[in-house]
Structure 1
Amino acid sequence: MLTLSRTLYDQIVAHARADHPDEACGMVAGPEGTGRPERFIPMLNAARSPTFYEFDSGDLLKLYREMDDRDEEPVIVYHSHTATEAYPSRTDVTYANEPGAHYVLVSTADTDGLGDFQFRSYRIVDGVITEEEVQVVG
């Protein structure tokens, strides 16, 4: 189960909505070994695409060095889908290289006709996708 604060939840959703119609992407870091999401890190989608996201390699290297210096690890890796449901694509699975992370997808597509969004979390390990419950606290 992914447990995160209302503030982090709102920040991820706001980023997804702000970058629409392009996919948004980013991470939430937490203290190493705790699995606790704490620090929201919005990233630039270097692909600037409505159907694909890509972290800038220089920004990503800088981020990993910063997390290492702060004894942090990526707890959540998130991105948005702008035209499809919040379910990992084959490309998403290919790029899922953090086996301990929660992969959050926010769909900004109007998939149900109500103008709402979907917020879902998955574990992706060795190509296997497992959806998990999301608990928002606070």
Structure 2
Amino acid sequence: MLTIRRDLVEAMVAHARRDHPDEACGVIAGADDGTDRPERFIPMLNAARSPTFYEFDSADLLKLYREMGANDEVPVVIYHSHTATEAYPSRTDVAYASEPFAHYVLVSTRDPEAHELRSYRIVDGVVTEEPVEVVESYEFAHPGQDDPPQE
């Protein structure tokens, strides 16, 4: 399951709407500590500038991975939009999915009045849809073992 803050969902949708009719893409990084919590929103440029395909600029991607490494972060969410189809990974999306622990989020902007947002795990070409829980804050998302002790 992907648990994600509402402000991050709104940022992805806004990016997708802003770049429409081209596909938008980006990453949401999180701490490399096993919490699997998306924290830092990083919109990227679709180097392909295409309504049917997205591609991260290789120099921007290298810079991002170096930055995440320096910050002890990992790509928790890798997102992009589909402008004319449902939010389901295409064959190309599956072929390029190279982060087995990332949540691959798709935002469909085909309907100008509403968006569709879905999340997937893509490992070795196998696509598995997962539930998405949108929360206001991670503090109250899953009280219990995930929360740091209060002092």
Q: Name the TM-score, length of structure 1 as normaliser.
A: 0.96
1:116 is displaced (CA, Å) by 1.4
CA distance in 1, matches of 2:63, 2:53: 22
Structure 1 residue runs of 4 or more that deviate by more than 3 Å after TM superposition: none
Alignment correspondent of 1:37: 38
CA distance in 1, matches of 2:50, 2:39: 28
Identity rate, percent: 75
The answer for unaligned runs of 5 or more in structure 1 is none
Alignment correspondent of 1:15: 15
Alignment correspondent of 1:4: 4
The correspondence of residues 59-138 of structure 1 with structure 2, limited to 5 A, is 59-110=60-111, 115-138=113-136
The CA deviation string for residues 76-125 of structure 1, in whole angstroms up to 9 with x for no partner, is: 00000001000000000001000000000000012xxx831100000000
Alignment correspondent of 1:48: 49
CA distance in 2, matches of 1:123, 1:25: 17
CA distance in 2, matches of 1:116, 1:6: 16
Query: Larger C-alpha radius of gyration, 1 or 2?
Result: 2
Which one-letter code corresponds to 1:38 in the other structure? E
SS in 2 for 1:94: helix
The CA deviation string for residues 2-57 of structure 1, in whole angstroms up to 9 with x for no partner, is: 00001101000100000000000000000003211000000000000000000000
SS in 2 for 1:41: strand
Which one-letter code corresponds to 1:104 in the other structure? V
Over aligned residues, Cα RMSD in angstroms? 0.9
